[in-house]
């Protein structure tokens, strides 16, 4: 059993709301991670094609606003339709370099009509196969103005060498029941993706590691005011109230004892790597295992609905 995994954390800015150019940037970092012999490379929340930063700085809650409609339409046009093969080249690189990938995308789901958006975390295995697409269960605050709530279909774990890996989007990581659903499936390498801020990753990364006695990898994006393309609809309005730094990174890795392997990396783009050892999981589960010897399923138990939600159920005759 190979107990060691090298993880690459791609803390990068998208080519904001431009899916073609962002895909090219993602591919570049996959190749870099592959050449550095990483077994897994992780990208931040909604990186492809970018986080909806405009909402909080352009009065995103104004109802029936032409400005908001036009920016949103631009976002929709640059979102990802997985069923159409838009991640095909990324999958091919995963297979070529035999590297697993967690990638945050904004998904325009065909089974929900093809017009609403979901913040999704895609897992691609080392053979280049998409094994799960987890749609964020509950968008946070202003995110609800542009993203739709997801379902439990993507609450899955996957084998990766000696490890069992699973992942959640941003503040989903504060939701104790989805975390537990992953723990109960054997997760021992937890991936948490974020738009980018050490204020988010600093406390919860170590907390989840201590709670689960697992390795926790938090990967954030990076974004400055210079990363808004000038061809973006209503560019001047967006940058008018924008801070200089919108996402400062904060990618990090904590071990099953809750101690840092890599503390939060702040203020720079790049591929940051670390090695984790499954042996450490076995050691730390000795004194606590919240879904094993330290659980009481006869008293408390969780129900998980993994059905992919849709308004249409076709009955063939």
Instruction: Give the chain's radius of gyration (CA, Å).
Output: 19
Q: How many folded domains does the chain comprise?
A: 1
Overall size of the chain counted in residues: 317
Q: Are strands 4-11 and 40-43 parallel, antiparallel or unpaired?
A: parallel
Kindly state whether residue 212 falls inside one of the protein's structural domains: yes
**Does 61 map to a domain?**
yes
Which one from 119, 170, 187, 206 is the annotated catalytic residue? 170
Please state, rounded to an integer, the average pLDDT across all residues of the chain: 97
The answer to whether residue 261 sits within a structural domain is yes
CATH code of residue 64: 3.60.110.10
* Token pair belonging to 4: 């060691």
pLDDT over threshold 90, residue 52:
yes
C-alpha–C-alpha distance, residues 244 and 251, integer Å: 20
Asked if the structure places residue 302 within a domain, the reply is: no
Instruction: State the Cα–Cα distance between residues 115 and 158, nearest whole angstrom.
Output: 29
> For residue 215, what are the contacts with CB-CB under 8 A and spacing of at least 6?
163, 188, 189, 190, 209, 253, 254, 255, 256, 261, 276, 280, 281
| Residue 70: per-residue pLDDT | 97
Please check whether residue 317 lies inside any domain of the structure.
Answer: no
Q: Return the axis-axis angle of helices 88-97 and 19-35, rounded to nearest 10°.
A: 0
Catalytic member of 19, 25, 136, 280: 136
Is the pTM of the predicted complex or chain greater than 0.75? yes
Q: Which pLDDT score, from 0 to 100, does residue 206 have?
A: 98
- Quick check: 317 pLDDT over 90? no
Cβ-contact 218, 10 below 8 angstroms:
no
**What does the pLDDT read at residue 109?**
94
| Mean pLDDT, residues 197-225 taken together | 97
The answer to the question of residue 301 being in a domain is: no
In a domain, 290, yes or no: no
Average pLDDT over residues 226-247: 96
pLDDT digits (tens, 9 = 90+) for 63-122: 999 999 999 999 999 999 999 999 999 999 999 999 999 999 999 999 999 999 999 999
170 flagged as catalytic: yes
Instruction: Decide if pLDDT at 1 tops 90.
Output: no
Structural domain for 55, as ranges:
4-284
| Active-site residue, selected from the candidate residues 19, 38, 45, 252 | 45
For residue 311, tell me if it sits in a domain: no
- The SS3 call for residue 234 is coil
């Amino acid at each position: 059993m190979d107990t060691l995994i090298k993880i690459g954390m791609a803390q990068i800015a998208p080519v904001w709301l431009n899916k073609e150019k962002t895909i090219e940037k993602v591919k570049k970092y996959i190749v870099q991670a592959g050449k550095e012999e990483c077994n897994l490379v992780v990208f931040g929340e909604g990186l492809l094609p970018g986080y909806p930063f405009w909402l909080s700085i352009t009065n995103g809650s104004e109802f029936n606003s032409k400005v908001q409609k036009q920016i949103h339409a631009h976002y929709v046009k640059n979102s990802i339709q997985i069923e159409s093969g838009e991640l095909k080249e990324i999958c091919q690189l995963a297979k070529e370099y035999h590297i697993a990938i967690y990638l945050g995308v904004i998904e325009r789901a065909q089974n929900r009509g093809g017009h609403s958006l979901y913040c999704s975390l895609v897992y691609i295995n080392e053979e280049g196969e998409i094994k799960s697409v987890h749609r964020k269960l509950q968008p946070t605050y202003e995110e609800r103005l542009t993203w739709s709530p997801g379902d439990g279909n993507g609450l899955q774990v996957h084998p990766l060498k000696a490890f069992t890996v699973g992942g959640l989007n941003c503040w989903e990581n504060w939701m104790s029941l989805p975390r537990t659903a992953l723990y109960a499936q054997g997760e021992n390498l937890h991936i948490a993706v974020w738009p980018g801020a050490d204020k988010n990753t600093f406390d919860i990364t170590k907390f989840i590691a201590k709670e689960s006695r697992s390795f926790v990898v938090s990967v954030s994006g990076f974004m400055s005011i210079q990363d808004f393309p000038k061809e973006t609809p209503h560019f001047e309005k967006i940058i008018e109230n924008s801070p200089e730094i919108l996402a400062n990174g904060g990618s990090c890795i904590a071990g099953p004892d809750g101690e840092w392997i890599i503390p939060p990396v702040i203020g720079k783009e790049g591929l940051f790597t670390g090695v984790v050892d499954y042996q450490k999981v076995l050691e730390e589960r000795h004194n606590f295992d919240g879904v094993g010897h330290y659980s009481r399923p006869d008293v408390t138990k969780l129900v998980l609905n993994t059905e992919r939600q849709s308004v249409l159920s076709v009955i063939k005759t």
